[in-house]
């Protein structure tokens, strides 16, 4: 049995900062997507945020005279852009149009379990404690959404199933590949994914029927600057430096963060049922973190 090979030791403070970025920022993106979607069609929303984020990061890399990816790296960048930018981000946008947030949260929460399966298929097995934490986290997200409206559509449900599969497979597939550094990888993946999303959106007939509102545009820019540049770069760093179970644990924390934002910003109710589900999720993260330290 093999376990996931680790790079040189990293500072706990760096890991904590990266985890907080993906926990808090990506937890808020559910709310931002809801604000942006009425005026930005799903694929064009992904294209807009990714082209802005990727363009800004590529401009910085050009200023720093960072070398272009090698010829051998371009195919891997294209694959990651397709499965992690288009298949995941754009499909979540499509799903949020016709599927309730509870179903989307449950679907995305399955991603760490898929990541554990894909890493095991490559011979790198999560520990028993990590598997226990992953399962408890998934059950916690389901519990969190019990009693909420679980509205679904066929297309939306297929997108909810495909998105976490693509993200988990891409995250595990990228391990050990010949790829640019973290910032260059994020920048090129988003830029390529933005172009692909633009072409797919236009082929599907997506158009801007009217000028987006200031609120929708502000939400889109938030997704670009915070959700894409900061949080995604933090995730790329995590997937290179920590075990997959910990890197993908954000999928369990994001739904409670989204719920807390609903309570604080929209006045949505919170009860003891919600609090207990959140405690279960936090316990699962503790197990995954402890499993990483024991390993």
CA-CA distance, 40 to 35, in Å (whole number)? 9
Contacts with 165 (C-beta within 8 Å, 6 or more apart), sequence order: 114
Give pLDDT, residue 278. Answer: 64
137: nearest Cα among 248, 282, 246? 282
Decide: helix, strand or coil at residue 2: strand
pLDDT in tens, the chain (295 residues): 344 444 445 567 788 889 888 988 988 888 888 889 889 999 999 999 999 999 999 999 999 999 999 999 999 999 999 998 888 888 888 888 877 666 677 777 777 777 777 777 666 666 777 667 767 777 776 766 665 555 667 787 788 888 888 888 888 888 778 888 888 998 999 999 999 999 999 999 999 988 999 999 999 999 999 999 999 888 888 888 877 777 877 777 777 777 777 667 656 566 666 667 666 666 666 666 555 555 5
* Dihedral sign, Cα of residue 223, residue 164, residue 116, residue 148: positive
Vertex 202 angle, CA 200 and 205, to 5°? 110
What is the H or E stretch that residue 62 is in?
Answer: helix 42-63
């Amino acid at each position: 049995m093999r376990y996931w090979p680790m790079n040189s030791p990293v500072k706990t403070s760096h890991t904590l900062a990266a985890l907080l970025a993906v926990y808090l920022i990506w937890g808020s993106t559910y709310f931002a997507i809801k604000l942006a979607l009425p005026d930005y069609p799903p694929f064009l929303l992904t294209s807009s945020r990714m082209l802005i984020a990727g363009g800004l990061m590529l401009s910085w890399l050009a200023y720093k005279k960072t070398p272009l990816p090698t010829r051998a790296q371009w195919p891997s960048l294209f694959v990651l852009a397709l499965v992690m930018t288009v298949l995941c981000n754009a499909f979540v946008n499509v799903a949020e149009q016709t599927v309730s947030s509870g179903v989307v949260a449950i679907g995305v929460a399955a991603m760490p379990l898929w990541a554990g399966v894909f890493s095991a298929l490559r011979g790198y097995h999560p520990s028993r404690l990590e598997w226990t934490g992953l399962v408890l986290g998934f059950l916690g997200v389901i519990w969190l959404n019990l009693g909420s409206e679980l509205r679904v559509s066929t297309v939306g449900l297929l997108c909810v199933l495909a998105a976490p599969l693509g993200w988990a497979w891409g995250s595990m597939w990228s391990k050990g590949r010949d790829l640019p550094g973290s910032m260059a990888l994020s920048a090129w993946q988003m830029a390529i994914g933005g172009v692909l999303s633009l072409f797919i959106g236009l082929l599907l007939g997506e158009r801007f029927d009217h000028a987006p509102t200031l609120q929708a545009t502000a939400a889109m820019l938030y997704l670009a600057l915070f959700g894409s540049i900061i949080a995604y770069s933090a995730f790329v760093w995590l997937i290179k430096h920590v075990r997959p179970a910990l890197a993908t644990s954000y999928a369990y924390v994001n739904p409670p963060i989204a719920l807390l934002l609903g309570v604080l910003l929209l006045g949505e109710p919170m009860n003891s049922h919600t609090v207990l589900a959140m405690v279960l999720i936090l316990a699962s993260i503790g197990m995954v973190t402890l499993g990483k330290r024991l390993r």
